[in-house]
Structure 1
Amino acid sequence: MRLGIPREIAAGERRVAATPDTAKKLQKLGFEVWIEAGAGVAASFPDSAYEAVGCQIVSDTAHLWESADIVLKVRAPQWNPDLDRDETDLLRQAGTLISFIWPAQNPALLEKLTQRKATALAMDSVPRITRAQKLDALSSMSNLAGYRAVIEAAHQFGRGFTGQITAAGKIPPCKVLVIGAGVAGLAAIGAARGLGAAVRAFDTRPVVKEQVQSMGAEFLELDFSEEGEGSGGYAKVMSPAFIAAEMALFAEQAKEVDIIITTALVPGKKAPHLVTQEMVEAMKPGSVIVDLAAEQGGNCELTRPDEISDHHGVKIIGLTDLASRMANQDSQLYGTNLVHLLSDLG
């Protein structure tokens, strides 16, 4: 059976669905691996590295899609301007696609895949259960995105994170609020603490309190009996009363902290707005917001996807390619998730 790994065409996307290391493992499973020429270059994997492990390099994009029994991608299929065709039209009839798809947010894409009679496996829909941990690509990507969020915040902040006592006086540490203590949030907490920041975090799921505290951060709580853990270990939509209480908490925190990193997502739904324009305007000039939910609508009302904007002196980072900015490591993790998936499928 032949696997096809095309070059990602989304703007700014540097990742690739298979690295030379994971391609070698796929071959050991019995697959023939075809790589589009240049697919791994942006992630520092030249064509020669793939050829060295026995992959076939294919220059014709359409031929690779049409010849593959299974196509492995990172991003969901989209319009290919070079070929003037949608990538779903390149997929062979009744073929198989494995990639991030975000099915609930992309009904038009699902309709196109249905018309092709395709079998599509959405890597963003892997449940967070014990036996599926090795397939959990969303966690793999979120881990590095959370780390990168802190790096981007530090770059825009213009001050040090750690507190210092010098002969010239005392410098207080940077105060960071992380909203959402899932995989990305915990990674952000770890990175910010590592840089010396004073970190506080909030999550609708009380079960993560010990994890947050074990990393040296303060866990913010509401006097509420409602819990926010839904199916598959993800957060769920909360009641209006709970939302009102947490929004009041965020409004107070916005006046105090220097950096807010938001990571809140609810499966199958648009990202909830948790940081309002009023909260942004209450923050100190020079503060920074990093919205990791920008691609799904954003947790901040003022987020502009794929942009870094400025509102009343507050930088709002809406970059959607944070994981891609660590393409080499991310590709290795994602490729390993795909190896485990195909191995389990037999």
Structure 2
Amino acid sequence: MKIAALRETAPGERRVAVTPETTRKFVGLGASVAVEQGAGAAASVTDDALVQAGATVADRASVLAGADIVLGVQGPDPDSLAGIQPGAWIVAGLNPFGDRARVDRYAALGVEALAMELMPRITRAQSMDILSSQSNLSGYKAVLDAAAEYGRAFPMMMTAAGTVSAARLFVMGVGVAGLQAIATARRLGAQVSATDVRAATKEQILSLGAKPIFVEAVQGIEGEGSGGYATEMSDEYKAAQAELVSAHIAKQDIVITTALIPGRPAPRLITDAQVASMKPGSVIVDLAVEQGGNVEGAVAGEVVERHGVKIIGHRNMPSRLAADASALFARNLFNFLSAFWDKDAGRPVLPDGDEIGEAIRLTRGGQVVNPRLTGTA
């Protein structure tokens, strides 16, 4: 059983899908591990460390030759998979809704593509959830990036020369990233508030010592979709929320937006007029910028200034913490494969009808089979 890990080629991608820790664990299961030369360099994972853990380090062609499973952070370009054997697994974040053409090309290669970002939000899959592990780091890094651009202190400081007021920070979208942003901002001493369309998050916000900002006048709208994700809201709710949020944003020093809806463009949360209402020197971090952005005027990969407000739109936020992000991502991949490891077969086996397999499998036998892509969901 050969497990291969390739060097990431997407622009700005610094993570790696295997670490010395997971290499040792795979070898312990009886697998061989082959890693492309330099795959972990940007994440502080050296070739020597991988070799010491039991991996073989070689060029891409040698790594792919005979590979049963190919691990990646982002899905490898199908053109770079020359020589891959039919039936091999591609296990990575595959962006199936944003790059459907690549999924079709995986099918044409005869590989079984498994999109880890489609992992269902169920108890037994929590340790395999790449979205949660990477979003946690994104929320943390968003606060640090905001602090770096803000140009003022976060905590209240009482000095002989006078008092420095605490920064006011508002988090929009209280999923994994939002909760970590709240916790990080609180640790840095900011005065934190947060909002979400899901009523159930109010208690989570309070538990972290932040102030919940919620629409109270519109009843019966929970915003809770399947698997714990947010859903689109009614026009009535959107109007009420916009009015409440507009008044609140104008008083904030920093806003962090994290709202995403799986398979759809990111919802627009902040308009240009709302940006203009903020004080000069304020900062907004848009964590959804690569999916269309929560903030009007945000630009993917850039820090722009509008109306005296800096809007941070860094791409691939987890990759900005490449070492920790890689360690967590690699564990997610190992946890998934080891959970389905069949000792007799000497490899992982995804049973037909299994909830996890049905959710993440995109291609099989030369066909696209995922119901969410074929329109049969």
Fold match by TM threshold 0.5: yes
Q: Match for 1:148: what amino acid?
A: K
Corresponding residue of 2:225: 230
Equivalent residues of 2:64, 2:81 under 8 A apart: no
For the pair 1:344 / 2:344, whether they are aligned, the reply is no
Match of residue 106, structure 2, among 103, 110, 113: 113
Q: Distance in 2 between matches of 1:315 and 1:164?
A: 24
Q: CA deviation at 1:89?
A: 5.5
Q: Distance in 2 between matches of 1:315 and 1:77?
A: 34
Match of residue 198, structure 1, among 158, 173, 191: 191
Corresponding residue of 2:328: 333
Q: Deviations over 1:1-54 (max 9, x none)?
A: 111100111222111001101111111122110011111111111100011011
Q: CA deviation at 1:118?
A: 1.9
Corresponding residue of 2:24: 24
Q: Distance in 1 between matches of 2:235 and 2:70?
A: 43
Q: CA deviation at 1:208?
A: 1.4
Equivalent residues of 1:129, 1:233 under 8 A apart: no
Q: Distance in 2 between matches of 1:103 and 1:25?
A: 29
For the pair 1:70 / 2:63, whether they are aligned, the reply is no
Q: Match for 2:79: what amino acid?
A: D
Q: Which region of structure 1 is more displaced relative to structure 2, 174-183 or 126-135?
A: 126-135
Q: CA deviation at 1:62?
A: 3.2
Q: Match for 2:274: what amino acid?
A: M
Q: Match for 1:209: what amino acid?
A: K
Q: Distance in 2 between matches of 1:90 and 1:257?
A: 55
Bigger relative contact order, structure 1 or 2 (CA pairs below 8 A, ≥6 apart): 2
Equivalences for 1:73-92 in 2 at 5 Å? 73-78=72-77, 86-87=79-80, 91-92=84-85
For the pair 1:165 / 2:164, whether they are aligned, the reply is no
Corresponding residue of 1:177: 170
Q: TM (normalized to structure 2)?
A: 0.87
Q: CA deviation at 1:88?
A: 5.5
Corresponding residue of 1:57: 57
Equivalent residues of 1:89, 1:116 under 8 A apart: no
Q: Match for 2:291: what amino acid?
A: Q
Q: CA deviation at 1:345?
A: 1.8
Match of residue 245, structure 2, among 232, 235, 250: 250
Equivalent residues of 1:88, 1:112 under 8 A apart: no
Q: Distance in 1 between matches of 2:115 and 2:211?
A: 35
Q: Distance in 2 between matches of 1:288 and 1:75?
A: 30
Corresponding residue of 1:82: none
Q: Match for 1:157: what amino acid?
A: Y
Q: Distance in 1 between matches of 2:302 and 2:268?
A: 18
Q: Deviations over 1:240-265 (max 9, x none)?
A: 21122222222212210011100101
Q: Which region of structure 1 is more displaced relative to structure 2, 224-233 or 109-118?
A: 109-118
Equivalent residues of 1:162, 1:197 under 8 A apart: yes
RMSD: 1.4
Corresponding residue of 1:81: none
Corresponding residue of 1:302: 297
Corresponding residue of 2:367: none
Match of residue 282, structure 1, among 263, 274, 277: 277
Q: CA deviation at 1:127?
A: 1.4
Ranges in structure 2 where 5+ consecutive residues have no aligned partner: 342-377
Q: Match for 1:188: what amino acid?
A: A
Q: TM (normalized to structure 1)?
A: 0.94
- Secondary structure in 1 matching 2:255: strand
- Secondary structure in 2 matching 1:256: coil
1:262–1:23 Cα change, 3 Å: same
Q: Deviations over 1:297-334 (max 9, x none)?
A: 11112111111111121111111222111111111111
Corresponding residue of 1:212: 205
- Secondary structure in 2 matching 1:323: helix
Q: Deviations over 1:113-141 (max 9, x none)?
A: 12112211111111111111111111000
- Secondary structure in 1 matching 2:293: coil
Corresponding residue of 2:123: 130
Q: Distance in 2 between matches of 1:320 and 1:127?
A: 25
Corresponding residue of 2:40: 40
For the pair 1:103 / 2:102, whether they are aligned, the reply is no
Q: Distance in 2 between matches of 1:277 and 1:67?
A: 53
Q: CA deviation at 1:212?
A: 0.9
Q: How many equivalent pairs are there?
A: 339
Q: Distance in 2 between matches of 1:102 and 1:248?
A: 34
For the pair 1:293 / 2:292, whether they are aligned, the reply is no
